[in-house]
């Protein structure tokens, strides 16, 4: 799967988006040697300390020590490397060639072992009952095959194994206020791009026209429905910043962010046991 040819159109857009704008990259890297240790470490610092500090609090990286873990949609390998450094045996699959290449480089410069595969999570090339943990952060809302991917995650998990996944939340401040109300209605981009095009622009580098990745949102009930085959499911809400209120942000003190996160957060985070 080295290019877009033969893929579902939505998956072609996924490849196009992240081949051009790999996950986690940005202008903050301009003065750092590309693909060096410092480069990849700066991406992780930006992720865990600036944009998504909730992840180190809510994702149990250390709990995966000694376990065989698969990441679906590994991106450039930031989270997978963190699991590896915590002592997990790590494997990853991603549909995007540039992600695959960069993740290989990330692990190589850090001197860490990994098994990475370029492929579609709707058809995992792993045996059944093989992994202790399957992890997927911010990925499964970008595929038309979300349910099939979860079915594959279930298949490759050992009995008692754990799926950790996050998807975008419909009833969040970011979706309802920043995207729909401000970006969509006030700036009229909902009328020029349509809803699907507007939501595509959630991802850095997407214009909603020529680069238009699929972006879905979910309710907590829908996530539980997706995970109905698992024996137990816990769903929580994560990631709220007053910046998600766009022009209304100055009205809210920063001190209120944590208190309002369960009501207004952008991610639904699920822990499902097979």
Residue 208 included in any domain: no
pLDDT digits (tens, 9 = 90+) for 222-260: 999 999 999 999 999 999 999 999 888 988 999 999 999
| Residue linked to tokens 């992600």 | 99
Please determine, for residue 4, whether its predicted confidence score (pLDDT) is greater than 90.
Answer: no
Residue 162 included in any domain: yes
Backbone angles phi, psi at 159, to 5 degrees: -55, 130
CA distance 131 to 88: 11
Three-state DSSP at 236 gives strand
Query: Once rounded to an integer, what is the mean pLDDT over residues 109-133?
Result: 98
What residues make up the domain containing 105?
9-168+216-273
CA distance 60 to 128: 24
- 115-118: strand order across its sheet: 115-118, 89-94, 68-72, 131-137, 157-168, 267-273, 232-238
pLDDT digits (tens, 9 = 90+) for 74-115: 999 999 999 999 999 999 999 999 999 999 999 999 999 999
For residue 2, what pLDDT band results from cuts at 50, 70 and 90?
Answer: very low
Asked whether the beta carbons of 205 and 211 are under 8 A apart, the reply is yes
According to the model, what pLDDT value does residue 234 have?
98
Report how many domains make up the chain. 1
Three-state DSSP at 260 gives helix
Residue 248 included in any domain: yes
135 pairs with which residues across the strands? 71, 164
Asked whether the beta carbons of 245 and 173 are under 8 A apart, the reply is yes
pLDDT digits (tens, 9 = 90+) for 152-195: 999 999 999 999 999 999 999 999 999 999 999 999 999 999 99
Residue 202 included in any domain: no
**Residue 135 structure tokens:** 């992890």
Asked whether the beta carbons of 144 and 122 are under 8 A apart, the reply is no
Residue 80 included in any domain: yes
According to the model, what pLDDT value does residue 6 have?
61
| Residue linked to tokens 């003190």 | 253
Residue 159 included in any domain: yes
For residue 1, what pLDDT band results from cuts at 50, 70 and 90?
Answer: very low
Residue 193 included in any domain: no
Residue 233 included in any domain: yes
The CA-based dihedral angle spanning residues 51, 174, 134, 63, taken in that order and rounded to the nearest 10 degrees: 50
Q: How many CA atoms lie within 13 A of 105 on its CB side?
A: 16
**Average model confidence (pLDDT) across the chain:** 96
Residue 184: partners with Cβ closer than 8 Å, 6 or more residues away:
190, 195, 198
For residue 5, what pLDDT band results from cuts at 50, 70 and 90?
Answer: low
User: What CATH number is attached to the domain comprising 84?
Assistant: 3.40.50.150
According to the model, what pLDDT value does residue 171 have?
97
Q: Decide the pairing of beta strands 232-238 and 115-118.
A: unpaired
The separation between CA 164 and the C-alpha centre of its own chain, rounded to angstroms, equals 11
């Amino acid at each position: 799967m080295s290019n877009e040819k033969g893929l579902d159109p939505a998956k072609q857009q996924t490849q196009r988006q992240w081949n051009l704008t790999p996950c986690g990259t940005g202008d903050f890297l301009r003065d750092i040697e590309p693909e060096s240790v410092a480069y990849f470490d700066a991406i992780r610092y930006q992720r865990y300390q600036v944009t998504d500090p909730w992840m180190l609090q809510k994702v149990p990286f250390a709990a995966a020590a000694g376990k065989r873990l698969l990441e679906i949609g590994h991106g450039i390998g930031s989270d997978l490397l963190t699991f590896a450094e915590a002592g997990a045996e790590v494997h990853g699959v991603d549909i995007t060639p540039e992600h695959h290449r960069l993740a290989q480089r990330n692990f190589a410069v850090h001197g860490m072992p990994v098994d990475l595969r370029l492929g579609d999570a709707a058809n995992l090339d792993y045996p059944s009952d093989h992994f202790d943990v399957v992890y997927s952060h911010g990925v499964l809302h970008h595929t038309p095959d979300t349910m099939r991917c979860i079915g594959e995650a279930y298949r490759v998990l050992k009995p008692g194994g754990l799926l950790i996944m996050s998807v975008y939340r419909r009833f969040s401040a970011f979706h309802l206020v920043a995207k729909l109300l401000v970006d969509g209605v006030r700036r009229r981009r909902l009328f020029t791009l349509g809803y699907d095009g507007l939501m595509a622009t959630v991802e850095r580098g997407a214009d909603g026209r020529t680069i238009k990745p699929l972006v879905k949102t979910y309710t907590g009930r829908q996530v539980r429905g997706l995970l109905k085959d698992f024996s137990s499911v816990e769903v929580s809400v994560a990631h709220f910043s007053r910046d998600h209120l766009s022009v209304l942000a100055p009205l809210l003190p920063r001190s209120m962010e944590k208190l309002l996160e369960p009501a207004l957060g952008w991610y639904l985070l699920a822990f499902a046991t097979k």
